Amino acid sequence: MSLPLRFSEEVAAARKEGAPIVALESTIITHGMPYPQNVETAMLVEETLRRGGAVPATIAVMDGRLHIGLSKDELTQLGQAESVAKLSRADLAACIATRGTGATTVAATMIAARLAGIEVFATGGIGGVHRGAETSFDISADLRELSQTAVTVVAAGAKAILDIPKTLEVLETFGVPVIAVGQDAFPAFWSRDSGLGAPLRMDTAEDIAAAHVIRTRMGLPGGQLVANPIPAADEIAPEVLNPIIERAVREAEAQGITAKSVTPFLLARIYELTEGQSLRANIALVLNNARVAARIAQEIVTIRNPGP
């Protein structure tokens, strides 16, 4: 039995030509943003990648097939569907085996990208160590995936729904390079500065691509986390968001929300409580990450195919 991989037309063509491809996750569409902004954003991100010279490959499982690249109709269908499964490393194969439909998290998207030979992936925020993890043990599978699957992930840092210092510690333990783009601070999703330094800083896509290729040539498993700060004009002040995040975290605890429901619950509550302000910032930073990811993907192609 071979793996039921389905490539979109543009991804199949790009693979043949060796053109730059950037993977995109689908949990951000089904569990990260409300309809219809989720579908609009997904299409805008794809368009941003194309304009930046890379082919988008949004990844999802639909009716048991692992799609690498979705058509506009498929994107819309997924964005409107209710109760789509959220797939991480643990559930990806099970969903395919039972002919299910599910959206891929950062971890599952990295696995699928690797299978398809795609080395760069753009998203909004990664999962991490949740606040209170010292009692709940809630640590996203995204972190271990970054330590074992060789894909460079461009995100806007980690959300303050997480314990950012603990998230950075776990990434360090796992040997994941965490690279801030163009600044010393590790960005915190809605704000450019988490108050913590990033372990590494790089100012060009060329350097990030070179580090990616050198890691693979050294045979190091695992990817890189590229932390790209939100554009200054779209930042939301921590004074505005902190009380909202704290309230959402308290509500999650009071309602006994656990395991894979925690992140979607917090994201949905924050959108409601900020009345859309967080959504506008989220869209701006994802587009910004797509622009950086396209440049990194192009540089990787250039390094791998040196001219005469």
| Contacting residues toward ligand PSU, per CB under 6 A | 25, 27-28, 32, 88, 105-106, 124-127, 140-142, 159, 260, 263, 267
Residue closer to ligand PSU by CB (options 144, 215) is: 144
Catalytic residue among 119, 145, 159, 235: 159
Residue closer to Mn ion by CB (options 25, 138) is: 138
Considering CB distances under 5 to 8 angstroms, the limit depending on partner class, which of ligand PSU, Mn ion, none binds residue 25?
Answer: ligand PSU
Chain residues binding Mn ion by CB under 5 A are: 138
Interatomic CA distance for residues 105 and 25, integer angstroms = 6
25 in catalytic set: yes
**What are the strands, taking DSSP E only, across the chain?**
5-7, 21-24, 55-62, 65-68, 85-87, 102-104, 120-122, 152-155, 178-181, 200-202, 224-227
* Beta strands 21-24 and 102-104, pairing class: unpaired
Check residue 252 and give left, alpha or beta (phi > 0: left; psi -120 to 50: alpha). Answer: alpha
Considering CB distances under 5 to 8 angstroms, the limit depending on partner class, which of ligand PSU, Mn ion, none binds residue 125?
Answer: ligand PSU
159 in catalytic set: yes
8 A C-beta contact, residue 293 and residue 54: yes
Joined together, the tokens standing for residue 5 give 């991989």
CA dihedral 262→263→267→270, nearest 10 degrees, is 50
Interatomic CA distance for residues 81 and 30, integer angstroms = 8
Give the active site residues.
25, 159
